[in-house]
């Protein structure tokens, strides 16, 4: 079946940076050109962070991360990245990679996405 595997999470200090990776199988990557990052903290709804369209490269960001988070992709590696800068404790969450077969839309809604990875934990401490 689909392969979406996140990596790069961990424990970091406030103000630090890290890069998350989401590697997909070739078929998954090419057939699901809208790739996205979500996060979910305990007791909270899953929040869409950013999307990138694989072929066109167009991106969307939610307001809470705009300017600090950067989504990018390396099509040769079937991998999407999330560069996170200036981390805050409120960024602590499980971060998920997701994909669906249509065009990315400005509103990053979880129910739009068909495929999900298992998540990678990000914990920010002071």
What is the C-alpha to C-alpha distance for residues 115 and 3, in angstroms, rounded to an integer? 9
Mean pLDDT by groups of 10 residues along the chain of 126 residues: 89 97 91 96 96 91 93 95 97 97 94 96 96
> What pLDDT, on a 0 to 100 scale, did the predictor assign at position 1?
61
Nearest Cα to Cα of residue 78 among 52, 43, 44, 103 = 52
> What pLDDT, on a 0 to 100 scale, did the predictor assign at position 2?
63
């Amino acid at each position: 079946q689909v392969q979406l595997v996140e990596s790069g999470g961990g424990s970091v200090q406030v103000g630090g940076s890290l890069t998350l990776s989401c590697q997909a199988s070739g078929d998954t990557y090419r057939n699901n050109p809208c790739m996205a990052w979500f996060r979910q903290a305990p007791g909270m709804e899953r929040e869409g962070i950013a999307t990138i369209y694989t072929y066109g490269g167009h991106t969307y960001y939610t307001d809470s991360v705009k300017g600090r988070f950067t989504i990018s992709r390396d099509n040769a590696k079937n991998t999407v990245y999330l560069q996170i800068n200036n981390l805050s404790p409120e960024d602590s969450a499980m971060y998920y990679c997701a994909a669906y077969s249509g065009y990315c839309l400005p509103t990053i809604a979880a129910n739009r996405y068909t495929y999900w990875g298992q998540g990678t934990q990000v914990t920010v401490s002071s």
